[in-house]
Structure 1
Amino acid sequence: MNERKFKGGPGTNTRSQDTVAVQLIRKHRADAPISGWRRFVRRLGPVGVVSLAIIVLVVLMAVFAPIIAPQDPFAGSVTGRHEAWSLAHLMGTDQSGRDIFSRIIWGARTSLLGPTLVVLIAATLATTLALTAVWFGGKVDALISRVLDILFAFPNMLLAILAVAIFGPSLLTASIALAIGFTPYSARVIRSVALRERGLPYVSSAQLQGISGFLITVRHILPNVRTQILTGMTINFGYAMIELAALSFLGLGVQPPTPDWGLMVSNGQASLQQGFWEQSVFAGLAIVITVAAFGYVGEQLGGGRAAGRTR
């Protein structure tokens, strides 16, 4: 009887209870909210994930250029001019006998460094001006708005060309000038979002508690506009890369013999007429693919309005 009672006890339903438990666990996992990374990937979509992979690849290429570049990007050869593709030169050589593939890899450094400077400087200036205008309001807001309106009247390239004409051609000069030109675009969006946050009850509550305006702005308003700041930086990165490449193409940005994609397109112009298209085409493709990747990721994250640009 005891054995029968034992066999008929709760132990006989262990397997069915385990099955129910497994089903409950699976249902809980299915109903659980999507994690931050999965939500980020779903928002990007398949094309966005590929674009993000391209961005990561270009960044890694720039960081590890001394390791992965098969040749010295500065070493030329009079007898090795315009060599065809081979295992020694995967993309051939340019008019000075330098390995194009190695110069593409090394050119990623300057091609990413310039836009990085532009978006960092522009984001810092835009955020500072926008938050200052929103917090103080009145005459301060009006003054900052008029300054931004004046900057809107000058095209970015015009500012860069004027700066280069005054201070001389260099990547730093062109980057700072473009950053000033990019500032009003980002400041306009950040101001609109911060102005909405400024009118919410939690700001008034913090003021009643005696918290200073600086701390309220830094601790509360700034974190609530960081999405617009980061998205704007992503989109503006592509615009900055195109404009810096154009300046290098015109000889106003990066100076030879430094490897740079925009400069390589310019240097390969004469070779194009002789039928040697590799340098200009490969450098141009590198610019187009990288800019498209940054632009698509930025559009998926927040759209062109987050950068203050509309189409």
Structure 2
Amino acid sequence: MKNSQKTPHTGTAAQNTVAVQLLRKRRNEVPVSGWRVLTRRLGWLGIASAIVIAIVVLLAILAPVVAPYDPYAGSVTARHEAWSLAHLMGTDQSGRDILSRIIWGARSSLIGPLIVILGTATMGTVLALTAVWFGGKVDAFIGRILDILFAFPNMLLAILAVAIFGPSIVTAAIALAIGYTPYTARVIRSVALRERNLPYVTSAQLQGISGLVITLRHILPNVRTQILTGMTINFGYAMIDLAALSFLGLGVQPPTPDWGLMVSNGQSSLQQGFWEQSIFAGLAIVITVAAFGYVGEQLGGRRAAGRTR
């Protein structure tokens, strides 16, 4: 009779572990799975922002096909031409087609931020998961490193790197990736720490599964939403910072087409009444950054990227 009586909490450790894993899997898949759920989360404005991002990416990929002119080819007789069917956005001070340079400029304007967010996500995730798993002195040591990086403004790190290694989009992007890492690591650590203390991790340890396997197969998938959301939001911040560096002449160097550099090059022409180059390049930056920022906000908010500004 005693064996037949069961309390409400009966169940083997394996059954409890499976139940917890299924619950966690279901909870984490709800925000990101399914087209219908995704569109409802983004809203119509978020969908429009995603379409803008897709268009910019396609233009960058298909630039040799869709650009009407060679972005480097200029003409002395075609300087500062107004809008026309031949040049939909006019020409710059060197007679180069502005529309073609904006289309080609999407490449450098996207590649730089891509380097930043990939580097940031990699370094931030590795540091956060290492700190969470080992804890103790390791966690404290990594925390001190992140505190030191917090003390340096992102742009200051980028300017110092450019001053040492020379102007380059890659140099500036790597420096910004290091500067962005504390924001990403802080958020991922907080989420991963909660996962680390759940029963299914303890159960996996008791079964003899190594910490690396538990981290990669269980903890990392449960923080992927924060990682992806942070990458989306940080992309916009990186694009602004890199455009500012190019504007100052510390990023992309002429005659390479770049939106930030085009804003700088067109600045002198504004006083002469030729505003097309600066305005159109500036609008490209604003629209693209707004699109990335809004999609990131809808997916997880600024806190998912560790940003509060």
Q: How big is the shift at 1:285? A: 0.1
Say which one has the larger Rg: 1
5 Å-filtered alignment, 1:76-91, equals 76-91=74-89
Letter in 2 for 1:242: I
What's the counterpart of residue 293 of structure 1?
291
What's the counterpart of residue 121 of structure 1?
119
State how far apart, in whole Å, the 2-side matches of 1:255 and 1:211 are: 51
Answering whether residue 182 of structure 2 is matched by residue 184 of structure 1, we say yes
Q: How big is the shift at 1:42? A: 0.7
What's the counterpart of residue 160 of structure 2?
162
State how far apart, in whole Å, the 2-side matches of 1:309 and 1:82 are: 41
What's the counterpart of residue 236 of structure 1?
234
- SS of the counterpart of 1:296? helix
What's the counterpart of residue 144 of structure 1?
142
Letter in 1 for 2:196: R
Q: How big is the shift at 1:305? A: 0.1
Answering whether residue 18 of structure 2 is matched by residue 42 of structure 1, we say no
What's the counterpart of residue 50 of structure 2?
52
1:272 to 265, 270, 273: 270
What's the counterpart of residue 68 of structure 2?
70
Q: How big is the shift at 1:101? A: 0.3
1:141-178 deviations in Å (ceiling 9; x for gaps): 00000000000000000000000000000000000000
1:47-67 deviations in Å (ceiling 9; x for gaps): 101000000000000000000
Letter in 2 for 1:190: I
Q: How big is the shift at 1:275? A: 0.3
Runs of 4+ in 1 over 3 A off after TM superposition: none
1:203 to 201, 204, 212: 201
What's the counterpart of residue 17 of structure 2?
none
State how far apart, in whole Å, the 2-side matches of 1:289 and 1:105 are: 14
Unaligned runs of 5+ in 1: 1-32
Q: How big is the shift at 1:195? A: 0.2
- SS of the counterpart of 2:38? helix
State how far apart, in whole Å, the 1-side matches of 2:300 and 2:145 are: 26
State how far apart, in whole Å, the 2-side matches of 1:43 and 1:260 are: 33
State how far apart, in whole Å, the 2-side matches of 1:218 and 1:92 are: 52
- SS of the counterpart of 1:253? coil
1:231-255 deviations in Å (ceiling 9; x for gaps): 0000000000000000000000000
What's the counterpart of residue 21 of structure 1?
none
State how far apart, in whole Å, the 2-side matches of 1:84 and 1:272 are: 14
Letter in 1 for 2:63: A
TM superposition score normalised by structure 2: 0.89
1:183-214 deviations in Å (ceiling 9; x for gaps): 00000000000000000000000000101000
5 Å-filtered alignment, 1:5-20, equals none
- SS of the counterpart of 2:42? helix
- SS of the counterpart of 1:79? helix
- SS of the counterpart of 1:90? coil
State how far apart, in whole Å, the 2-side matches of 1:102 and 1:55 are: 18
What's the counterpart of residue 132 of structure 2?
134
Letter in 2 for 1:72: D
Q: How big is the shift at 1:121? A: 0.3
Unaligned runs of 5+ in 2: 1-29
5 Å-filtered alignment, 1:246-265, equals 246-265=244-263
Letter in 1 for 2:87: H
Q: How big is the shift at 1:310? A: 1.2
State how far apart, in whole Å, the 1-side matches of 2:307 and 2:243 are: 20
State how far apart, in whole Å, the 1-side matches of 2:84 and 2:64 are: 21
What's the counterpart of residue 212 of structure 1?
210
